[in-house]
Amino acid sequence: MLGISTTCCSDVSLGTALHRITGVRGIDFVEIVSENYHMLDEYNCLLHLETLEEKGLKNVIHAPFSDINIASLNERIRRAALDILFETFEVAQNMGSLLVVIHPGHLSPASMKFPKAYEKIHRRSLEEIDRYSRKLGIRVALENMPTFPILDGRTCRRIHELIDGTELYVTFDVGHLNTVTQNFGEFVELLGDRIIHVHLHDNDGTKDSHLALGRGNIPWEDVLKILPRSASWSLELNSLSEAVESLNFIKMHI
């Protein structure tokens, strides 16, 4: 399944974004990044679902991530972060979403000073997320992060460690990994069937710039061969024209 993320229309309302994206031929779903102008809630979600269903499209929800830290040592902040995620899970249940993408926790001055506490709290949050998602009957996929000092979950081994002991899945962000190890084969080999969603975008290996496919240095001919076909593939670009360009790129190379 191929889809387009609403990141390409982040400067307009969600209604306008969906109107533009659903006009693109050859996609199976839209990934709604529930942030800012595109925030989903119990009041607007069914209206946007109707827009998608009229075009015969499914949906994926990317949970809010700005200012969200499930590994915060401040319990009030951690609790608020989980509450926001759980509300998103409920929206996903109402919309019949294929899955929900979430980010790992991230480091702070406090957690850098107390790494054992950070690990314990991070684990607790992921276990809570696992239990609540199973209760609702939705799939949640943890995304690998790009290179940046405070970000966690940057390598396949760290993602494997974070989801160990849970039934959480994985979102494989190819562009993010290109800024870290560039070892795409290792990521797919280690995480295997846990990968149910893929983010596709390009960069030069130093910055998470979300370029159109083929405009960076990712070896797409090799990468596209190893990506799991059972996973949904989402184009996460800065503009709709780049998303369409990348959609055509994929169709030429698979």
The pLDDT of residue 201: 98
CA 34, 38, 41, 45 torsion: positive or negative? negative
Residue type, 9: C
The mean per-residue pLDDT over the stretch 182-194 comes to 97
Assess whether pLDDT exceeds 90 at residue 176.
Answer: yes
Residue 10's pLDDT band (cuts 50, 70, 90): very high
The pLDDT of residue 61: 98
CA distance 14 to 168: 28
Q: pLDDT > 70: what percent of the chain? A: 100
pLDDT (tens digit per residue) in 127-162: 999 999 999 999 999 999 999 999 999 999 999 999
CA distance 232 to 170: 11
- The answer to pTM > 0.85 is yes
SS3 content of the chain, % helix, strand, coil (to 5): 45, 15, 40
Domains of the chain listed by start with CATH number: 2-253 (3.20.20.150)
Assess whether pLDDT exceeds 90 at residue 254.
Answer: no
Residue type, 196: I
The pLDDT of residue 8: 98
Assess whether pLDDT exceeds 90 at residue 11.
Answer: yes
CA 242, 248, 251, 254 torsion: positive or negative? negative
